[in-house]
Amino acid sequence: MNLSNHIPILIIAIPLLAAFLVPLIGRINKKATGILTTLALSVSLILTIALAVKILTVGPQVYVFGATSPSLTLPSGLKFPIRIIFEVDAMSIFMGLITAIVSFLGAIYSLAFMKNDSGLEKYYSLLLLLTVGMFGMVFTGDMFNFFVFLEISSIASVALISFRGTDLGEPAEAGFKYMVVSSISALLVLFAVGIFYGQYDVLNIAAIASVMKYSQLDKIALGLLVPVLAMKAGAVPMHMWTPDAYSEAPAPITMILVVASQASLYALFRVVFSLYNISLNALTVGWIIIIFGLLSMFIGVTMAIIQKDIKRLMAYHAISQTGYMLLGVGVGLAVLANPAALQKYGITAMEGGIFHIMNHAMYKGLLFLTAGALFFSTGTRDLNKMGGLAHYMKYTTIFFIIGAAAIAGLPPFNGFASKLLIYESVYRFNPLLSIIAMVVSILTLASFVKVFHSAFLGPKLPQFKEVKEVPRSMIFAMAALSCIIIFFGLFPDLIVKNLVHPAVMSLIEQLQYTGTVLGGM
Amino acid sequence: MIGNLPYVAVVIFIGLGIYTLMFKKNLIKIAIGVVLIENGVNLFLITLGYRKEAIAPIYTQAPSGQAMVLPTPQALTLTSIVIGIATTALILSVAMMIYKHYGTLDTDQVRRLKG
């Protein structure tokens, strides 16, 4: 038995096993739960990196459940795949890497951040389940399996958002909103899966894509899937759950929730590019996604400026940054049917959008963690009550500056690299879109200058005399994210060439995706 | 005999569910709305696998030549029902927590998070 063929399932199986071990261990020793979680997620991280190296050198990997060999997609001469299949290509592993890094750092940060809470074994168990759900959503090659993992991640994240709901009302309120939104979206995804199954008798994404007729029913399914997945990703005008859920969840969970939203965004791109690709009316759907992106960018940032709660402000910025990804990829989709324009600026626009997913996960995660550090030390999230904290929390101040500069797109941080790719290429598609994107970037900077000024600058305040720097595990998580941000900012070419470009090409080239499962039929 | 009647029922279920979600102000009724949509989707899946005068899909016990209904939609529906129970339980328990803190289930009064 060659273990390296089984890596895709091990990445999911190890956290899943740990998720059910943690409550048992918690009976014996409460402290051990966090350490076990961190260990399981670090194994997942190492395996994900190993799988990424394999995929980027050899090509897409498939894992077939229950087959005699993991790569046997079509047993005994069948024309279509009947088993559940994981299909991990460059785009999936790109999202997988983000998931692995963020969940690992989230677990480390939780070690100190959550140490005063009760019910920790449940917290870590849910955190592991949320990670499993996200890995599953990005790895799976099966529509129904996607629905199952979507529900796993939503149920775990609702329980985590309302984790402090036993003591406070607001987390429960946010959790209720998120639960209703995510169960409706999951059910409509299931309805679309039913439409596909009724027509083509298969559930495998590659198999559906290869027989896609783009009939009236397929248009209905597309009309269900696009808004629903955009809603789960937090795009305006379906964003009402985002600020509540992001601001009420504990800080490490908020960081992971950002990636969970992006897993839905990944699913949206997978549906339009791998499932429909050229058969849909690319210009119309592309413009719909661009308009979602524009609305998210602009409304997100204008709502952020007026916020007083630091995490709520950052949550609106998360909506606004999602807009950049939708804009970049939307432009790529709009010119999909036009090979000349696609070569000239479409691919660059998509590279910008996809690169922005990873950058956003890193700097927004860092910013949410600094907000968590402020809350941990001062006990408040209200910006009007903070002030002069740079005197007491030197490391947190530095990390906040790095995160804020990255989100505002200042060089040499990673936000600049992906935003520049988007500006350049979108300008050649439609100059107005690029100008709006730049204005939003300036407003973002303005809003973070305000946060920096009101939280960190100013004289020492008497009520914060006891405030100390946060514990080491929280510093470590923030420092690791800062290093990644600076590394990506200094060497963007390296990342774009080796990680982002293969991811974009695996989205655009539908035949490569279907061929991996169907063997070049 | 029944023709397209199940699909009509699916539309009614999902329509009623969406109506409940949009116009009812009680958190428990919102939970009921979600369950209605879920039932509609489950009925849709099970109807897709229906074949006229077919029998249950147990391969070893079927008389030869007899048509069988599709087993896959039934497996999907079963999974979806199990997930649905978890979702409903979670929605109701969160509603319970809200009632404990706010003393009401009216959505107009459960509004501390806004702006």
Q: What residue segments make up the domains of chain B, in order of their start?
A: 5-102
Report how far residue A63's alpha carbon sits from residue A67's, in angstroms, rounded to the nearest whole number. 9
B105 touching A (Cβ < 8 Å): no
B16 touching A (Cβ < 8 Å): no
Which of B18, B48, B94 has the highest number of chain A CBs within 10 A, making it the mutation to test binding with A? B94
CB-neighbour burial class of residue A185 (10 A; exposed 0-12, middle 13-18, buried 19+): buried
Chain A residues inside the 8 Å CB shell of B94: 158, 162, 165, 172, 175-176, 179
pLDDT for position B63? 75
CB-neighbour burial class of residue A445 (10 A; exposed 0-12, middle 13-18, buried 19+): middle
Start-to-end C-alpha separation, chain A: 29
- pLDDT means over runs of 10, chain A (521 residues): 83 95 91 93 95 92 83 73 89 95 95 88 95 95 94 95 88 93 94 93 90 90 94 90 93 95 94 86 90 94 91 94 94 90 91 94 95 92 88 92 93 91 93 94 93 90 85 94 94 93 92 80 44
The answer to whether A191 contacts B41, with C-beta atoms less than 8 Å apart, is yes
Q: What share of chain B is helix, strand, coil (3-state, %, to 5)?
A: 65, 5, 30
The ipTM estimated for the assembled molecules is 0.95
Which of B24, B37, B42, B98 has the highest number of chain A CBs within 10 A, making it the mutation to test binding with A? B98
Helix axes B71-102, B27-48, angle to 10 degrees: 180
Nearest to A183 among B34, B44, B97 (CB): B34
Nearest to B112 among A170, A176, A197 (CB): A170
**pLDDT tens digits along B26-85:** 999 999 999 999 999 999 999 988 888 888 888 787 777 778 888 889 999 999 999 999
The answer to whether A148 contacts B115, with C-beta atoms less than 8 Å apart, is no
The answer to whether A162 contacts B94, with C-beta atoms less than 8 Å apart, is yes
The answer to whether A174 contacts B113, with C-beta atoms less than 8 Å apart, is yes
| SS3 per-residue string spanning A210-264 | HHCCCCHHHHHHHHHHHHHHHHHHCCCCCCCHHHHHHHHCCHHHHHHHHHHHHHH
Nearest to B45 among A148, A172, A194 (CB): A194
Start-to-end C-alpha separation, chain B: 54
Sole residue written with tokens 């539309």: B11
In the stretch 23-82 of chain B, residues with CB closer than 8 A to chain A read 27, 30, 34, 37-38, 41, 44-45, 48, 72-73, 76, 79-80
Cβ-contact A248, A170 below 8 angstroms? yes
pLDDT for position B33? 96
**What residues pair up with B26 in beta bridges, in sequence order?**
B106
- How many helices (H) does chain B have, and how many strands (E)? 3, 0
The answer to whether A151 contacts B45, with C-beta atoms less than 8 Å apart, is no
pLDDT beyond 80 at B108: yes
Chain B residues inside the 8 Å CB shell of A198: 48
Altogether, the residues listed in chain A come to a count of 521
CA atoms within 13 A on the CB side of A8: 24
The answer to whether B113 contacts A244, with C-beta atoms less than 8 Å apart, is yes
Nearest to B112 among A151, A169, A184 (CB): A169
Nearest to B41 among A173, A175, A190 (CB): A190
Chain A residues inside the 8 Å CB shell of B37: 184, 187
The answer to whether B94 contacts A197, with C-beta atoms less than 8 Å apart, is no
SS3 A81: coil
Give me A50's structure tokens.
């190993």
pLDDT for position A521? 44
Nearest to A190 among B21, B80, B112 (CB): B80
The answer to whether B97 contacts A172, with C-beta atoms less than 8 Å apart, is yes
**What residues pair up with B68 in beta bridges, in sequence order?**
B55
The answer to whether A165 contacts B91, with C-beta atoms less than 8 Å apart, is no
Non-local CB neighbours of A435 within 8 Å, separated by 6+ positions:
none
Nearest to A172 among B14, B21, B101 (CB): B101
Chain A residues inside the 8 Å CB shell of B83: 148, 151, 186
Residue of B nearest to A154 (CA): B87
**A354: nearest Cα among A331, A336, A337:** A331
Altogether, the residues listed in chain B come to a count of 115
- What count of CB pairs under 8 Å joins A to B? 93
Report how far residue A85's alpha carbon sits from residue A317's, in angstroms, rounded to the nearest whole number. 36
This model's pTM is above 0.90 = yes
Q: Please state, in angstroms and as integers, the Cα–Cα distance from residue A159 to each residue in A122, A245, A503, B82, following that order.
A: 9, 11, 32, 17
User: How distant is the Cα of A232 from the closest Cα of chain B, in angstroms?
Assistant: 16
Which helix or strand (DSSP H or E) is residue A63 part of?
strand A61-64
SS3 A382: strand
